Structure 1
Amino acid sequence: MAIPSAVRETLNARLEELRARVARVEEDLRQPLDDDFGEQAVDREDDEVLDAVEAAALAEIELVEEALVRLDAGTYGVCTACGDEIAPKRLEALPACRFCIGCAERADEANA
């Protein structure tokens, strides 16, 4: 399967966006707590949300970096579980995906 050069650009742009998001979250988390105890409680709840946002971004960064490695290795677009080709429409929608739809469904069922 021929991989358009735009895929690398898309993945790199997404990587930049995610890294910037993580940097913003980390900056927000470094902010000192308010002196007011009520405000501190709100700040701590906000921090939990920011932690979740950061964790999701870091997980996606890992997927994007793995996709770039597969692109360099010439295995981009090949399911890492079964070795079948990943449908072009799936790659278009999820450029960093590593599973074909069948393997992704099986993985979801196993994790449910």
Structure 2
Amino acid sequence: MSTQAAYEELREALVARRDAMHSRLASIKRDVTREHSGDSAEQAQERENDEVVDAIGNETRQSLHAIQVALDKIEAGTYGECETCGEDIGVGRLRALPEATRCVNCAD
């Protein structure tokens, strides 16, 4: 498989992940904005749950950003170039981590 064909496959996977994460983020927003219980013990548990949901939301937003950066690089023709050394990021690494911005050597 050519590099371009591999990048197209990765682009499709990134778009699918992006769409799934947008759905997850919408669900998280619904959970955070729901009504809380009137019971103080339940409210304490709900607030703890809200903190976890908020952390998941932050991670999802960060992942969405990384995915969008990768998609922008595909569009610009710079996808697969290590941001540190400028060498190619191996297709195997990109398949494992499509939003990778550094080659294996620079990632350490």
TM-score, normalised to structure 2, is 0.92
Percent identity (aligned): 36
Q: State the alpha-carbon separation in 2 of the partners of residues 69 and 2 from structure 1.
A: 17
Structure 2 gap segments, 5+ residues each: none
Q: How far did residue 2 of structure 1 move?
A: 2.2
Question: Counterpart in 1 of 2:4?
Answer: 3
Deviation string for 1:33-70 (max 9, x for gaps)? Answer: 10000000000000010011001110000000000010
Q: State the alpha-carbon separation in 2 of the partners of residues 8 and 63 from structure 1.
A: 13
Q: State the alpha-carbon separation in 1 of the partners of residues 26 and 33 from structure 2.
A: 11
| 1:81 and 2:72 correspond | no
SS at match of 1:52: helix
CA contact (8 A) 2:18 2:64 kept: yes
**Runs of 4+ residues over 3 Å off in structure 1:** none
Question: Counterpart in 1 of 2:72?
Answer: 69
For the aligned residues, what is the CA RMSD?
1.1
Q: State the alpha-carbon separation in 1 of the partners of residues 105 and 43 from structure 2.
A: 46
Question: Counterpart in 2 of 1:90?
Answer: 93
Q: State the alpha-carbon separation in 2 of the partners of residues 17 and 97 from structure 1.
A: 19
SS at match of 1:81: coil
TM-score, normalised to structure 1, is 0.89
- Report matched runs for 1:49-68 at 5 Å: 49-68=52-71
Structure 1 gap segments, 5+ residues each: 106-112
Question: Counterpart in 2 of 1:110?
Answer: none
Q: How far did residue 8 of structure 1 move?
A: 1.3
User: How many pairs align?
Assistant: 105
Q: Which moved more, 1:78-87 or 1:53-62?
A: 78-87
Question: Counterpart in 2 of 1:108?
Answer: none
